Amino acid sequence: MIVELTMHHDGEALTTQLPKAMTDRLSLSNGDRIYAVETEQGILLTTVDPDLARVMESGARISARYENALRELAK
């Protein structure tokens, strides 16, 4: 889903609102954290902490590389 958003002044910050249909579909509620990530294409809003995602990807690579050793250690 692509939605055009409008920025508004709120004191010294700019704010915007996400449509209810989008927040419902993503199970977002008041107080939830989302992350704004600058990319070459613009701004990506995500519910996934980019640092945690990098750690999880690293863990998956390590698990794949040492799959046999980890299987033996688990016995």
Which one is predicted more confidently, 8 or 48?
Answer: 8
DSSP letters spanning the chain: -------EEETTEEE----HHHHHHTT--TT---EEEEETTEEEEESS-HHHHHHHHHHHHHHHHTHHHHHHHT-
pLDDT on residue 55: 66
Which one is predicted more confidently, 6 or 48?
Answer: 6
Each residue of 26-67: pLDDT tens digit?
Answer: 999 999 988 888 889 898 888 877 676 676 677 777 778 878
Q: Are 44 and 37 in contact (CB under 8 A)?
A: yes
The domain limits of the chain are 8-73
pLDDT on residue 17: 94
